[in-house]
Every structure is written in C-alpha cells, then in structure tokens.
Amino acid sequence: MDTMSVYHALLEHHKTKGWWPIDHDFFPREFEIIAGAILTQNTNWINVEKALKGLEDAGLTSPEALSNANIKEIEKSVRPSGFFRQKAQRLKIFSVFIMDFGSFENFSESVTREELLSQKGIGPETADSILLYALGRRSFVIDAYTKRIFTRLGFQCFRTYDEWREFFESNVTEDAGLYREYHALIVEHAKAHCRVKPICEKCPLGSVCARKF
C-alpha cells in the first residue's frame, strides 16, 4: 500500500474532517490558527480552546493587539494552555515578527519556512502547521501520530523530521487542500484506532498493517 492508497482508505472510513477549527473572533481569521498552533504545544486542544477564548475575551485577537499588550495580560488569558508564561512570551514575540512585515497580508505572502523556524519556540511541526493551515502553503505536517501510523504500516522509519516531511511531499499529490485533509485524517485515525495501545477492530488499515498486536 502506498501513501495515496492509505489516504483514500482513511478518507473512505473517516470521511472529510475539515481541520483546522476556527471558532473565535480573531482578525485576520488565519491568525487564530497561528495562535492555536503555538498554544497547542504540550497540551490538548480542549485547553487550547480555553486559552483562545481567554484571548478573545481580552480583545487580544490580532497581531497588533498582542504585540502591544502587557505580557501579564497575555499570561492571564492563556493560562489554561499550560506553560502560560512561555506561551505568552512566544505569542507576543511572534506577533511583533508578523508586524515587522508591515501587515498580515505581507507576512502571509512573503514569510519563508526558514524565517518561521528562526523564531523563538517555533519548531518544524509548528512552522509547517502555520504554513499549511494558516497560509495555504504546500508544507506537510509531521507529528507523532504520523510517525506511529506509518511505522506500524511498515513504511521506512526515518531519523529526522525533515526526512519524514520530504518523504510525504515526494509521495503525496502536491495540493495544500489534500495535505490538510490527509493530516486531519491521520490525527483522527490515531485517536480512533492507532493509539499507543491500538484498537484494531474495524481499522481500515488492519489488513495491511505490518505490526501485529
């Protein structure tokens, strides 16, 4: 089974997922995705939602607002996300970074992956999440779920993040919408079936899984 066959099997089983959720009044709307990508580090999405609501309630929903906000006010708003001091600082620094482009539109059109990775607290997974989901770039997101599923399926186990990313971008149809849907399906499948302790019953990939539990 190749990567696109896995995609179609997951799509048939789980249906369209339409990730990333945008549920709050951020401006521009894509900035909510960026804030969420930073806040989701080392926590679950339920806590991210609480932190995003805290930012919304405080009126800290744009790069301009966050770049000018008092750090204590940001910390209070994002406290539910855990590591709130660190995340508040990263949100503020990243907002200043966006404003250095002159506008969010300029940032969206011009920023490179290398520039994102140069920012404090922005690792490869966060950078690719921003590029793919917020900016609509073809940049495949690699997370622990992706590595778990494809290792169990018997695909080559790569050593580095960039090796995994290059593998997917070389073997998946080059389309940002498909990249988003594929990653969403991977997350859904890892939660529903391919857990640390897997639930193999009714797994759509069970017949080709190289790992026998």
* Residue ranges making up the domain that contains 189: 3-18+139-208
Q: Residues of 190-203 as b/e, b for ≥16 C-beta within 10 angstroms?
A: beebbeeebeeeeb
Q: Which phi and psi (to 5°) does residue 77 adopt?
A: -70, -35
Look at residue 159 and give its three-state secondary structure. Answer: coil
Q: Residues of 139-156 as b/e, b for ≥16 C-beta within 10 angstroms?
A: bbbbbebbbbbbebbebe
Q: Are residues 76 and 154 in the same domain?
A: no
Q: Are residues 51 and 9 in the same domain?
A: no
For residues 63-76, average pLDDT: 98
Confidence of residue 17 (pLDDT cuts 50, 70, 90): confident
Q: What tens digit of pLDDT does each residue of 105-139 get?
A: 999 999 999 999 999 999 999 999 999 999 999 99
Report, in angstroms and rounded to the nearest whole number, the Rg of the chain calculated over CA atoms: 18
With 0.75 as the threshold, say if the pTM is over it: yes
For residues 45-51, average pLDDT: 97
Q: Residues of 98-124 as b/e, b for ≥16 C-beta within 10 angstroms?
A: bbebeebeebbeebeeeebeebeebeb
Q: Are residues 45 and 103 in the same domain?
A: yes
Q: Are residues 127 and 46 in the same domain?
A: yes
Report the domain count for the chain: 2
How are the residues of the chain apportioned to helix, strand and coil, as percentages rounded to the nearest 5? Answer: 60, 0, 40
Q: Are residues 70 and 151 in the same domain?
A: no
Q: Which phi and psi (to 5°) does residue 62 adopt?
A: -145, 160
CATH number, domain of 127, equals 1.10.340.30
Residue 67 placed within a domain = yes
Q: Are residues 59 and 117 in the same domain?
A: yes
Average pLDDT, the chain: 96
Domain end point (choices 73, 105, 134): 134
pLDDT of 157 over the 90 cut: no
Cβ contact 38:123 at 8 Å:
no
